[in-house]
Structure 1
């Protein structure tokens, strides 16, 4: 919004860029102060269902700029470029904050419950191939869209830039995840993020020839899949899952 306001006064790229950096620094300072003054804020955010909005909120900048263009107040071209940069940076910052808050929440829950079983596993091989293909396709399309827009003037191609954000969904697909079965729920650990799901959020499990699959209650949430060959103590894990699901039925 700061950039939009100044764009009506000046079209200087340097001024608008510095205003963008200043606005980001101001928001970061306010957020840091709020977190430092609020005990357990990260845990509260990590517990909240709407925490996933953190990476989505920065897209309001895109709505503001294009909304201004639609109603006839045409911001300078540099405003669109800075909006893309600001939205991208804000979205990645939101992803980082989301991961940190969920990790803090998971740590808080694990400190007060009993662990029954643990294993490390990657996605099943078939799903790893799918994820790698998704990374390649979204990365190529996203970068190609930027090149087509700014180098060749193909305006509509710039929309492919947003596919880069889907690339982050597939990152780290070859890294194993750490699963912990506890009395309170299931903890899933990645290198940069830990998540916790109470048993009420899971419906059950299945063991196939190549995977251990934990189904979620929400139809739109993907199941947790583990490569069966990576699980060293499969019998112990299955016994623990059977006991907790029996207890929560």
Structure 2
């Protein structure tokens, strides 16, 4: 379904939550350069800079809000493509730029670094929100052949845990390094590696799924994810799980012990995937 077909779902009186997130994202990106320009061209007085930050947050949030509401189909168009992750990556690059500028920008570099971290978080959240809105519109009239809740079997969870433990160990060392040396590089990498490890391991947690003609829908408490059938090559039923094989990334695994009717789930998967 192309992005344009989701526009009918967007014809409503705005999306306040998405608009707020987008507005705060714009404001965070604008804080550091605006404060730096005011300090160089107007005044470096703390009171002036404080007022500048407040004004930038207010104006930036307002502009971002207005633009999002003005172009109501934007979240749906963004959610339909991988460009939804660009805002988060921009925030990450912004944070690293702030880190690299500490030597000559001083407090403004620190401001840019932390603003970038905030923008990275909000940008990632906006990507998830946009994807959820697009999937909700895409599947609004789609039939759910089977809905079930399942996680990975314990053996597979343990193997995945062994994979992410080194990431957490390196992350813990990075956090601990601040007590030994004042460098920011180890702390920065620790702040990146820890959530990466958490994100990988969370794939094994129980989730609600729905088998649809468009793909396998993953339902999270506040988000949606659609895995098209083109990403899968088939499925296998093992002694403890239904394993749906992906051409890239980790396979999807559904512990048989979590399924009320494993045969019904397998039959639904067999509508779209071959048994291997």
Give the 3 Å change call, closer, same or farther, for CA 17–138 of structure 1 in structure 2.
farther
C-alpha separation between the residues in 1 aligned to 2:111 and 2:220?
A: 32
- The TM-score with structure 1 as length reference comes to 0.77
User: How has the CA–CA distance of structure 1 residues 67 and 104 changed in structure 2, closer, same or farther, with 3 Å as cutoff?
Assistant: same
Counterpart CA distance in 2 for 1:206 and 1:49 is 29
Matched, 1:242 2:275: no
1:51-66 aligned within 5 A: 51-66=84-99
Residues of 2 paired with 1:132 and 1:18: CA distance? 47
Residue 227 (str. 1) matches residue 255 (str. 2): yes
TM, length-normalised to structure 2: 0.70
Tell me if the contact between 2:235 and 2:244 (Cα under 8 Å) persists in the aligned partners. yes
**What secondary structure, in the 3-state scheme, does the structure 2 residue paired with 1:244 have?**
coil
Query: Is the Cα–Cα contact under 8 Å of residues 4 and 65 in structure 1 kept in the other structure?
Result: no
Offset of 1:85 from its aligned partner? 2.0
In structure 1, the partner of 2:69 is 36
User: Tell me, which stretches of 5 or more residues in structure 1 are unaligned?
Assistant: none
CA–CA distance in structure 2, aligned partners of residues 146 and 13 of structure 1: 31
Identify the match of residue 136 of structure 2 among 107, 119, 132. Answer: 107
- 1:117·1:236 contact (CA, 8 Å) conserved in 2? yes
Instruction: Work out the CA distance in 1 between the residues paired with 2:172 and 2:49.
Output: 24
Partner of 1:189: 219
Establish whether residue 213 from structure 1 lines up as the match of residue 246 from structure 2: no
The corresponding residue for 1:118 is 147
What is the CA–CA distance in structure 2 between the aligned matches of 1:135 and 1:18, rounded to whole Å? 44
How many pairs does the alignment contain?
240
Change in Cα spacing, 1:152 to 1:205, as seen in structure 2 (3 Å) is same
- What secondary structure, in the 3-state scheme, does the structure 2 residue paired with 1:55 have? helix
- 1:186–1:199 contact (8 Å) kept in structure 2: yes
> Which whole-Å CA distance do the structure 2 matches of 1:205 and 1:18 have between them?
59
Query: Which consecutive unaligned segments of at least 5 residues does structure 2 have?
Result: 1-29
For residues 202 and 154 of structure 1, what CA distance do their matches in structure 2 show?
Answer: 44
Deviation at 1:176, TM superposition (A): 2.0
CA contact (8 A) 1:103 1:194 kept: yes
Kindly state the Cα deviation for residue 99 of structure 1 after the two structures are TM-superposed: 1.8
Closer, same or farther in 2 for the Cα pair 1:238/1:16, shift >3 Å? farther
SS at match of 1:213: strand
Change (3 A) 1:6 1:43: closer
Q: Is the 8 A contact 1:123 1:226 kept in 2?
A: yes
Following superposition, the deviation at residue 195 of structure 1 comes to 0.8
Moved more, 116-125 or 36-45: 36-45
